[in-house]
Amino acid sequence: MNIEDFIRDIPDFPKPGILFKDITPLLANHKALVRCADQLAQCYSGDVKIDKVIGIEARGFILGGMLAERLEAGFIPVRKKGKLPYEVRSKSYGLEYGTDTLEIHADAIKEGDNILIHDDVLATGGTAKAVSDLVKELGGVVVQFNFIMELGFLHGRDKLDAPIASLLEY
Protein backbone atom coordinates (compact mmCIF):
# COMPACT_ATOMS: atom_id res chain seq x y z
CA MET A 1 0.00 0.00 0.00
CA ASN A 2 1.36 3.36 -1.05
CA ILE A 3 0.21 6.22 1.20
CA GLU A 4 0.83 8.69 -1.61
CA ASP A 5 -2.20 7.20 -3.35
CA PHE A 6 -4.33 8.64 -0.53
CA ILE A 7 -3.17 12.24 -0.86
CA ARG A 8 -5.08 14.46 -3.25
CA ASP A 9 -4.11 17.77 -4.78
CA ILE A 10 -6.40 20.76 -4.31
CA PRO A 11 -5.34 23.61 -6.63
CA ASP A 12 -5.63 27.24 -5.53
CA PHE A 13 -6.28 26.50 -1.86
CA PRO A 14 -6.19 28.44 0.41
CA LYS A 15 -5.35 31.05 -2.22
CA PRO A 16 -4.52 31.15 -5.94
CA GLY A 17 -1.18 29.59 -6.81
CA ILE A 18 -1.05 27.19 -3.83
CA LEU A 19 -1.34 23.46 -4.53
CA PHE A 20 -2.69 22.06 -1.26
CA LYS A 21 -1.83 18.45 -0.40
CA ASP A 22 -4.99 17.06 1.22
CA ILE A 23 -4.56 14.13 3.60
CA THR A 24 -8.26 13.62 4.40
CA PRO A 25 -8.53 10.58 2.05
CA LEU A 26 -5.59 9.07 3.97
CA LEU A 27 -7.32 9.72 7.29
CA ALA A 28 -10.56 8.19 5.99
CA ASN A 29 -8.93 4.86 5.10
CA HIS A 30 -8.18 2.71 8.16
CA LYS A 31 -5.41 0.66 6.54
CA ALA A 32 -3.70 3.70 5.04
CA LEU A 33 -3.91 5.59 8.32
CA VAL A 34 -2.39 2.74 10.33
CA ARG A 35 0.33 2.19 7.72
CA CYS A 36 1.20 5.89 7.76
CA ALA A 37 1.42 5.94 11.58
CA ASP A 38 3.59 2.82 11.56
CA GLN A 39 5.92 4.29 8.93
CA LEU A 40 6.22 7.55 10.87
CA ALA A 41 7.11 5.63 14.04
CA GLN A 42 9.75 3.66 12.13
CA CYS A 43 11.32 6.95 11.01
CA TYR A 44 12.63 7.43 14.53
CA SER A 45 15.52 5.13 15.27
CA GLY A 46 17.45 7.40 17.59
CA ASP A 47 19.21 6.22 20.70
CA VAL A 48 17.33 8.43 23.19
CA LYS A 49 13.82 7.81 24.40
CA ILE A 50 11.27 10.30 23.16
CA ASP A 51 9.48 11.75 26.18
CA LYS A 52 6.79 13.64 24.28
CA VAL A 53 5.51 14.04 20.75
CA ILE A 54 4.20 17.42 19.70
CA GLY A 55 1.38 17.50 17.17
CA ILE A 56 0.81 20.82 15.42
CA GLU A 57 -2.78 22.02 14.89
CA ALA A 58 -4.76 20.64 13.36
CA ARG A 59 -3.71 17.81 11.07
CA GLY A 60 -0.62 17.12 13.16
CA PHE A 61 -2.84 16.10 16.09
CA ILE A 62 -4.17 12.98 14.45
CA LEU A 63 -0.99 11.17 13.50
CA GLY A 64 0.98 12.90 16.25
CA GLY A 65 -1.20 11.17 18.83
CA MET A 66 -0.83 7.84 17.06
CA LEU A 67 2.93 8.37 16.86
CA ALA A 68 3.13 9.16 20.59
CA GLU A 69 1.32 5.91 21.35
CA ARG A 70 3.74 3.91 19.19
CA LEU A 71 6.78 5.60 20.77
CA GLU A 72 5.36 5.19 24.30
CA ALA A 73 5.56 8.95 24.80
CA GLY A 74 3.23 11.66 25.99
CA PHE A 75 1.43 13.92 23.52
CA ILE A 76 1.43 17.73 23.45
CA PRO A 77 -0.94 19.69 21.24
CA VAL A 78 0.41 22.97 19.88
CA ARG A 79 -2.52 25.16 18.92
CA LYS A 80 -3.33 28.41 17.24
CA LYS A 81 -3.60 31.51 19.40
CA GLY A 82 -6.42 31.59 21.93
CA LYS A 83 -7.32 27.88 21.83
CA LEU A 84 -5.49 26.58 24.93
CA PRO A 85 -7.14 27.12 28.33
CA TYR A 86 -4.06 27.44 30.56
CA GLU A 87 -1.00 29.67 30.78
CA VAL A 88 0.77 29.59 27.42
CA ARG A 89 3.94 30.52 25.59
CA SER A 90 3.39 31.99 22.12
CA LYS A 91 5.40 32.30 18.94
CA SER A 92 4.45 34.11 15.73
CA TYR A 93 5.80 32.85 12.42
CA GLY A 94 5.53 33.23 8.66
CA LEU A 95 4.14 30.59 6.35
CA GLU A 96 3.91 30.32 2.58
CA TYR A 97 0.64 32.26 2.46
CA GLY A 98 0.61 34.60 5.50
CA THR A 99 1.46 34.71 9.21
CA ASP A 100 0.09 33.01 12.31
CA THR A 101 0.74 32.48 16.03
CA LEU A 102 1.11 29.15 17.82
CA GLU A 103 0.81 28.43 21.53
CA ILE A 104 1.85 25.68 23.92
CA HIS A 105 0.96 25.21 27.58
CA ALA A 106 3.71 26.70 29.73
CA ASP A 107 4.01 23.47 31.74
CA ALA A 108 3.88 21.01 28.81
CA ILE A 109 7.62 20.36 28.73
CA LYS A 110 10.02 19.67 31.57
CA GLU A 111 13.67 20.69 31.44
CA GLY A 112 15.56 18.12 29.34
CA ASP A 113 12.50 16.41 27.82
CA ASN A 114 13.31 14.78 24.48
CA ILE A 115 10.76 15.98 21.96
CA LEU A 116 9.72 14.75 18.52
CA ILE A 117 7.78 17.38 16.55
CA HIS A 118 5.20 16.08 14.07
CA ASP A 119 3.13 17.82 11.42
CA ASP A 120 1.55 16.70 8.17
CA VAL A 121 3.71 18.81 5.85
CA LEU A 122 7.02 20.63 5.86
CA ALA A 123 6.64 23.61 3.55
CA THR A 124 8.59 26.82 4.25
CA GLY A 125 9.61 25.58 7.70
CA GLY A 126 8.14 28.54 9.57
CA THR A 127 5.64 26.50 11.57
CA ALA A 128 8.11 23.80 12.60
CA LYS A 129 10.76 26.41 13.46
CA ALA A 130 8.29 28.31 15.66
CA VAL A 131 7.41 25.10 17.52
CA SER A 132 11.09 24.22 17.89
CA ASP A 133 11.72 27.65 19.38
CA LEU A 134 8.88 27.12 21.88
CA VAL A 135 10.30 23.72 22.88
CA LYS A 136 13.71 25.25 23.52
CA GLU A 137 12.24 28.17 25.49
CA LEU A 138 10.61 25.63 27.80
CA GLY A 139 13.85 23.66 28.24
CA GLY A 140 13.12 20.75 25.92
CA VAL A 141 15.42 19.13 23.38
CA VAL A 142 14.16 18.72 19.81
CA VAL A 143 15.35 15.25 18.83
CA GLN A 144 13.60 14.96 15.46
CA PHE A 145 10.99 16.44 13.14
CA ASN A 146 8.56 14.04 11.44
CA PHE A 147 6.31 14.87 8.49
CA ILE A 148 4.06 12.92 6.20
CA MET A 149 5.38 14.98 3.30
CA GLU A 150 7.96 17.61 2.49
CA LEU A 151 7.63 20.26 -0.20
CA GLY A 152 11.35 20.27 -0.97
CA PHE A 153 11.19 23.14 -3.46
CA LEU A 154 10.30 25.49 -0.56
CA HIS A 155 13.53 24.64 1.33
CA GLY A 156 11.85 24.49 4.74
CA ARG A 157 14.43 22.05 6.09
CA ASP A 158 17.03 24.83 5.90
CA LYS A 159 15.35 26.50 8.92
CA LEU A 160 15.43 23.40 11.13
CA ASP A 161 18.29 22.25 13.34
CA ALA A 162 17.45 18.62 14.15
CA PRO A 163 17.09 15.48 12.02
CA ILE A 164 14.11 15.51 9.66
CA ALA A 165 12.12 12.53 8.44
CA SER A 166 9.34 12.64 5.88
CA LEU A 167 7.57 9.81 4.14
CA LEU A 168 7.03 11.66 0.86
CA GLU A 169 8.82 14.47 -0.95
CA TYR A 170 7.42 16.75 -3.61
Q: Which one is catalytic: 57, 59, 79, 89?
A: 59
Within-domain flag for 148 = yes
Q: How confident is the model at residue 96 (pLDDT cuts 50, 70, 90)?
A: low
- Catalytic option among 4, 35, 70, 96: 96
- 29 located within any domain: no
In a domain, 100, yes or no: yes
| Number of domains the chain is built from | 1
- The model carries a pTM of 0.95
Summarised one tens digit per residue, pLDDT across range 119-164 is 999 998 999 999 999 999 999 999 999 999 999 999 999 999 999 9
Is residue 96 among the annotated active site residues? yes
Confidence at residue 95, expressed as pLDDT on a 0 to 100 scale: 63
Q: Tell me, yes or no, whether 151 lies in a domain.
A: yes
Would 74 be classed as within a structural domain? yes
Alpha helices in the chain (DSSP H): 24-28, 30-42, 59-70, 126-137
* Known catalytic residue at 150: no
Domain assignment of residue 82, yes or no: yes
Q: With cut-offs at 50, 70 and 90, classify the pLDDT of residue 91.
A: very high
CA–CA separation, 31 vs 80, rounded Å? 30
135 in any annotated domain: yes
CA atoms of 23 and 115, how far apart (whole Å)? 24
Segments forming the whole domain that contains residue 141:
47-169
